[in-house]
Structure 1
Amino acid sequence: MNSTPPDPDATESIDPSNAVLTGIGASPGITTGTAPTIRSVDQFSAVRPGDVLVCHTTDPAWTPLFGMAAAVITETGGVLSHAAIVAREYRIPAVVGITDALTRIRPGTRLLVDGTHGTVHQDPRNPGGAPP
């Protein structure tokens, strides 16, 4: 048995005390992707095609990211929020209203986003959080 403690950089994931995050399913669909956590427009360059955009909220300045994102997760909003409406227009899943998503989801975590049911899980096919 390995008694070496895990390297925190190698085990990026959803905080284990909150293994399933629940919000409002705002745009239907299920997808997976790696999650950069974006706090401001200054960090837009960190988003890559197929990423799951995790942020506090969105406004029209964030719209170009929806063309690259596989899904969107926000800390605020409802079914009529900017993130929800634009996600539906781009036909990508969105879960909004997840309290403290920016602190509960560690950057680089591979996520399974269910915009139909409003849930976010760590991607079960990649339990360690590292890219496949």
Structure 2
Amino acid sequence: LEFFVIHQMRAYWKHYYQDSSGLVYVVDSHDQNRLSEAKQELEQILEHEELESKPLIVLANKQDLPGAANADDIAETLNLKEICGNRNWLIQPCSGRTGEVPSRESLASYFVLSWLAS
């Protein structure tokens, strides 16, 4: 069901790009088979003109599970250095289940600092 809902919602994402301050992209660190799909989706999202200079935070979720790819490996698999170019970006390991997630304040601070730097 989750996969179906996500695919249905993708058509609406573009309506939120214009007013966004940045992009938070969550990947499942444990499902390494779908990282190539996540990479393709991220590449398509970043091609939108409205997101051209917006900072990106990638949350590498499910770090608590055995066998989860670490943040550096995910950054390499997603080819973040290449696809982000001059865009400010950050990858942050996290786990929604254990509560090890960046605070709302730290995410907001990153976007503000990225905006000031641009």
TM range (shorter): 0.3 to 0.5
**TM-score in terms of structure 1 length:** 0.37
Q: Which has the higher helix share?
A: 2
